[in-house]
Structure 1
Amino acid sequence: MTTDAAASPAPAPAPAGPPPRSARRGVRRAGAAVLALAVLLVAALGGVGWYFAGVAIEVDHAAEYPIEIEDVGDGTVTLPREPFTERAGTWALVWKGGRAMLGPIVGGDGDHVVRRVASVTEGQLAKGVPANVDNWLYDGDPKTALGLEFQDVSYPSELGPMPAWLVPGSSPNGTWVIGVHGRNADKAETLRVMRAVHATGLPMLSIAYRNDVGAPASPDRKNHLGDTEWKDVASAVAYARSQGATGVVLYGWSMGGAMVMTTLRKDPAFVRGVVLDSPVMDWSSTLDKQGDARHLPRFVTNVAKRVLQRRIGIDLRDFDQRRYAPRLRTPTLMFTTADDEVVANRPAFAFAKAAPPGMVTHIAVQGDHTEAWNVDPAAYERALTSFLTKVR
């Protein structure tokens, strides 16, 4: 009988010793490299975020002239064909020391557009001069630009006296319109609507605010996206009240719209109505739009938004007006443009939809940022006049 011998037990494995010194060095080097790369990526991400946030809060009043006048002659001007040079509507052509009112397109080709020159109000048109197309249309002051009598006034604020234009109405005792321009703009942005407002008999106070040319600067000399600037609007309301106003209509363009909405939320009692033109109804969405335009990954834009909130102490959630729309009790006229390349439009549409029925009159037209008036001045002014007549 055959039997199998029991298998010998396998030898116990030798206890593992420390890795060779060279291997340990390699692991440490790899770990250090990964850590260094992570630090560099975080630094780069933070740097991009810091830069983008800085762009958003930068105070910059410099004029830009991105095109060159190609030719001038026989009451026309030839410009490079760009989306902003070929738009129908009412526009000005501006250059350093000059301004002309543009008429309709009368010719051109694939690379050029020829427009009629309605008038030259300042300077002299010349070939080869750097220029830009201006949707503000007017420059100067209400008297030089529009022939309207006005007063240079100042209203008290927490930073000191702020300059403003006061175009008197039929009486100082009644409803005033307070015009609030957009980010890095100035009072001239409000000139387009002054004739229409004046025709209603309402006084119009067009204000400068902190960091404007000729106005006191904020302590950090930064733009706070309306988070502190709204206080100047509130100060202007107090000034109007001290001069006989029994109510106000707040009229804001772009960031001015964000300022107006914050002022309304803080103290709605004295506000008879609100007019918004291409308003910022959500800064977070608008910053996303600006980041996308710069081809930034969304996570980089999110970092930039966190950096921005820390730099200027803003909570972007406070500027999502959609949250407050159901509580709106002040009649509001709002203009938006389909091709707005600056401000996100969807929050404005959502705000109008979420507000109580009949509280928001929303007029959506073609055009770019704050160009609703330029596209069709007569239609814009009819809507504005009708609204002001109802809420005065």
Structure 2
Amino acid sequence: MRSVDSFAEGLAHVARSPVLRTPADEGLEFQDVTYPSADGVPLEAWFIPRAGSAKLIVSMHAFGFNRYGFPSHVEPWKSAYGPGNDTEIDFIKDYRILHDAGYNVLTFDFRNSGLSGAANGGLSLNNRFEARDVLGTMEFIRSRPDLAAMDLGLFARCMGSGATFRAIHTDPSAFAGVRCLVAPLLLSPRVFLEAVMGNAGLGEHVDEAERRYRELTGGDLSTRVSAWAPAVTMPTLTYGVHDDTITRPHDLEEAFAAIGSAEKDMFWIHGTTRRWDGYQHFQRHPERVLEWFATHLK
């Protein structure tokens, strides 16, 4: 059985996973680009151009993942998130769908992930640092004339969506002109900790794990994604796996209710407990997300 300390340490330190594929594996031409985060950390990214298109989607990954996805078909990553969440997550397939639908795509590795720079001692503080990477990405887009002229949408998963919410809360002006956001699998770290420790029979030790996390990082897990959601005023679509074993439905429902946009939508994926089905939902059933982008990126 995992110890209380191991749960705290897993949230405190970002474990870097390898970038095993590139867009070339799906026959996509791409550019390797690099630019600084808002605090100067070098971020590695791919730009996948779509000839003749003036629409851009920025894709953001989950905690411990990278722009390629997550190699959960091989160890040690195969055992990281429990039974069922052990097949490869390949976001390159998502970029193929977006490209074929007429979008340019920019996707990057967050700090301490993939090939981006190491920073902050590898610590994760409830999206505080990752929000700076989102802000740096927005600045990069505006600094490059070809990208700055494009209609912009965001597709941010899990940690990527939480970091985006926090970045918008921190500096709303940086998102002026963003047409829409798709933010699936929103997750608050404290709710995640409660779920996974409960699954392990250690539910009564969650406060102890959070105390240990605070000792390791100086941060806390008390702030939920819903606290930043009122600042999110662009049209926003979110979705999740209702019976996901590593979170609870109320967390996503509270975040959705708090979103400040007058135009928002949400749906649940049923019939599975696998969070991985949420990560793969777009490549299996892209219609609803593509419709959202098509509606708002005209």
TM-score of the aligned structures, taking structure 1 as reference length? 0.61
Gaps of 5+ in 2: 70-90
Gaps of 5+ in 1: 1-47, 64-137
Q: Which residue number corresponds to residue 149 of structure 1?
A: 29
2:41 touches 2:119 (CA, 8 Å); kept in 1? no
1:278 touches 1:370 (CA, 8 Å); kept in 2? no
Deviation at 1:358, TM superposition (A): 5.4
Q: Judging changes above 3 Å, is the alpha-carbon distance between structure 1 residues 259 and 356 closer, same or farther for their aligned structure 2 residues? A: closer
Deviation at 1:370, TM superposition (A): 4.0
Deviation at 1:373, TM superposition (A): 6.0
2:111 touches 2:118 (CA, 8 Å); kept in 1? yes
Deviation at 1:286, TM superposition (A): 1.6
Which protein, 1 or 2, shows the higher relative CO under an 8 Å CA cutoff with sep ≥ 6? 2
Tell me the alpha carbon deviations over residues 32-59 of structure 1, each in whole angstroms, 9 at most, x when there is no partner. Answer: xxxxxxxxxxxxxxxx654431122233
Pair 1:202 & 2:106 matched:
no
- 2:249 is matched by which residue type in structure 1? N
TM-score of the aligned structures, taking structure 2 as reference length? 0.78
RMSD: 2.7
SS of residue paired to 1:277 = coil
Q: What is the alpha-carbon distance in structure 2 between the residues aligned to residue 159 and residue 356 of structure 1? A: 30
Pair 1:227 & 2:128 matched:
yes
Deviation at 1:346, TM superposition (A): 1.8
Identity of aligned residues (%): 21
Deviation at 1:361, TM superposition (A): 1.5
Q: What is the alpha-carbon distance in structure 1 between the residues aligned to residue 282 and residue 6 of structure 2? A: 38
Q: Judging changes above 3 Å, is the alpha-carbon distance between structure 1 residues 357 and 261 closer, same or farther for their aligned structure 2 residues? A: closer
Q: What does residue range 37-76 of structure 1 map to in structure 2 within 5 Å?
A: 49-61=4-16
Pair 1:185 & 2:75 matched:
no
Tell me the alpha carbon deviations over residues 251-293 of structure 1, each in whole angstroms, 9 at most, x when there is no partner. Answer: 222222211211222233333221122221x222121112112
- The structure carrying a bigger strand percent of its residues is 1
Q: Which residue number corresponds to residue 180 of structure 2?
A: 273
Q: Which residue number corresponds to residue 211 of structure 2?
A: 306
2:44 touches 2:116 (CA, 8 Å); kept in 1? yes
Q: What is the alpha-carbon distance in structure 2 between the residues aligned to residue 326 and residue 231 of structure 1? A: 19
Deviation at 1:163, TM superposition (A): 0.9
Deviation at 1:176, TM superposition (A): 2.4
Pair 1:165 & 2:120 matched:
no
Tell me the alpha carbon deviations over residues 60-80 of structure 1, each in whole angstroms, 9 at most, x when there is no partner. Answer: 3468xxxxxxxxxxxxxxxxx
